[in-house]
Amino acid sequence: MIAMPIASERIVITHRDHLELLPWQAPDPAPGEVRIRVGQSAVSFGDIMLRRHVFRPRPAVTVPGYEVVGTIDAVGPDAGDVRVGNRVAAFVEYGGNARHALVPARNLVHLPDRVESDAAAAVVLNYATALGLVETAGLVAGDDVLVHGASGGVGTAVLDTARALDLRAIGATRNVTASLFGARLVDGRSPTLVRDVREASGGGVRAVFDSRAGRSLWSSRAMLRPGGSLVVFGLSSVANRGVRAALGTVGTLASLTLFRVLPGKRSSLFAMDRTFHRDPARVRAWVGRAIDMLARGAIAPAIGARLPLASVAEAHRLVETGAIVGKVVLDCQ
């Protein structure tokens, strides 16, 4: 059969770091792939960092978007037990912010009919990350955990996941008046934050999930009880270019190196991209577990905004400024 590409559109990061909706010809899937008519995708802070060319490499044609939720409209040879018309979700490293996406069939998670597409898009990256953080820290039911940036996409996912797994969560956030999944909230900017967390947890938490960088990691380590685990992820505070951001990166890596030789507490760096490169089946398992939790009603993702694909620049602004609580979902239909 002759491959017949179809007319489509996708978001491309241009050479000036602008986001543009551009036409493209979506090809037929290669062996082992499927083509998905994307219904929903989303925007995360990782997309902001990609646009700013921080950490992640940029392909010649750079299409952001980690999440793909939609319907298979073409199946390549040797793609296994998938069919045209199947509703699916997948984590992708690039290419989610598009009308169509090509995805390896081995990375797909089937969506039950009762799962809404926008909710699925809100869990693919963020809740898989939350499950990865919990696994990395070795948490079990009854453990307590503090998450910084608790009102953001990953932060709300951690609080919701903690509730589902019977963990006791404390959220550090600028908006302490909000109610987030029943978690105790503390002012993340308070000069007494370490003392507040230690008092709230009876001497220190079992784990801290920190997306900040540099010297702030020392205060996070001080919140841990003996034997506790600091898991660093995201590094949102180094997303800006410049000397300050560079120093923050260096400080973060230096702190983590020192933490690993200091006794009594553990530390690690969690990166979904790196995990995906090393073990995509592990990421798929986290996505599948998150979708199952969603289907059972165990989690209820916070969606802060729903925008059309063409409004992706506004979506980036909302994520960058922290103007919303929860995930920004894009309608790609």
Overall average pLDDT of the 203-212 stretch: 93
Q: What fold characterizes domain 6-124+276-331?
A: Quinone Oxidoreductase; Chain A, domain 1 (3.90.180)
Q: What is the dihedral of CA 219, 224, 225, 227, to 10 degrees?
A: -120
β-strands 87-91, 67-75 pairing: antiparallel
Q: Three-state DSSP class for 128? A: helix
Q: Are 55 and 10 in contact (CB under 8 A)?
A: no
Domain range summary for the chain, segments of one domain joined by +: 6-124+276-331, 128-270
Q: Where are the alpha helices (DSSP H) in the chain?
A: 45-51, 117-124, 126-137, 153-164, 193-200, 216-222, 243-259, 272-278, 280-295, 312-321
pLDDT for position 296:
97
For a pLDDT cut of 90, what percent of the chain falls above it? Answer: 73
CA atoms of 271 and 291, how far apart (whole Å): 21
Query: How does pLDDT run across 175-197, given as a tens digit for each residue?
Result: 777 678 989 999 988 999 999 89
Q: Are 198 and 206 in contact (CB under 8 A)?
A: no
pLDDT for position 247:
52
Q: For residue 244, is pLDDT > 60?
A: no
Least confident of 77-81, 195-199, 287-291: 195-199
Closest Cα to residue 207, out of 229, 185, 177? 229
Closest Cα to residue 165, out of 298, 326, 289, 286? 298
Q: If pLDDT is split at 50, 70 and 90, which confidence band does 237 have? A: low
Residue 279 burial (CB count, 10 A): 11
pLDDT for position 180:
86
With left for phi above 0 and alpha for psi between -120 and 50, is residue 7 left, alpha or beta?
Answer: beta
Closest Cα to residue 130, out of 201, 189, 207, 188? 207
Overall average pLDDT of the 247-271 stretch: 76
Longest dimension (CA), the chain: 67
Just give the CATH number of 128-270: 3.40.50.720
For a pLDDT cut of 70, what percent of the chain falls above it? Answer: 92
pLDDT for position 239:
53
Token digits for 47?
């997309």
Q: What's the full length of the chain, in residues?
A: 333
Q: Which residue has the higher pLDDT, 254 or 49?
A: 49
**HSE-CB of 30 using CA atoms within 13 angstroms:** 4
Burial class (CB in 10 A: 0-12, 13-18, 19+), 32: middle
Q: Are 166 and 141 in contact (CB under 8 A)?
A: yes
CA atoms of 314 and 320, how far apart (whole Å): 10
Overall average pLDDT of the 96-119 stretch: 97
Q: If pLDDT is split at 50, 70 and 90, which confidence band does 262 have? A: confident
Residue 18 burial (CB count, 10 A): 10
Query: How does pLDDT run across 149-171, given as a tens digit for each residue?
Result: 998 899 999 999 999 999 999 99
CA atoms of 108 and 284, how far apart (whole Å): 7
Overall average pLDDT of the 86-96 stretch: 97
Say yes or no: do domains 6-124+276-331 and 128-270 share a fold.
no
Range with the largest mean pLDDT of 149-163, 176-190, 235-249, 252-266: 149-163
Beta bridge partners of 90: 68
Q: Which residue has the higher pLDDT, 61 or 238?
A: 61
